[in-house]
Amino acid sequence: MINLLLVAAGGAIGAGLRHVVNFVALRLVGPSFPWGTMAINIVGS
């Protein structure tokens, strides 16, 4: 049961961080290219 809770907490934290990175990237470079998504995918791979 603790494993399930840890996975859920990790997923929630990861989703929040993904949103923040996308938001910051949009503010810094604009919406011309999804730089936040690209950065997240590179870091996550």
This prediction has a pTM of: 0.73
Q: What is the DSSP letter of 43?
A: H
**Residues in the chain with pLDDT values less than 50:** none
pLDDT for the residue 25 = 93
d(CA 14, CA 40): 10
pLDDT for the residue 7 = 98
**Which of 3, 2, 34, 1 minimizes the C-alpha distance to 18?**
34
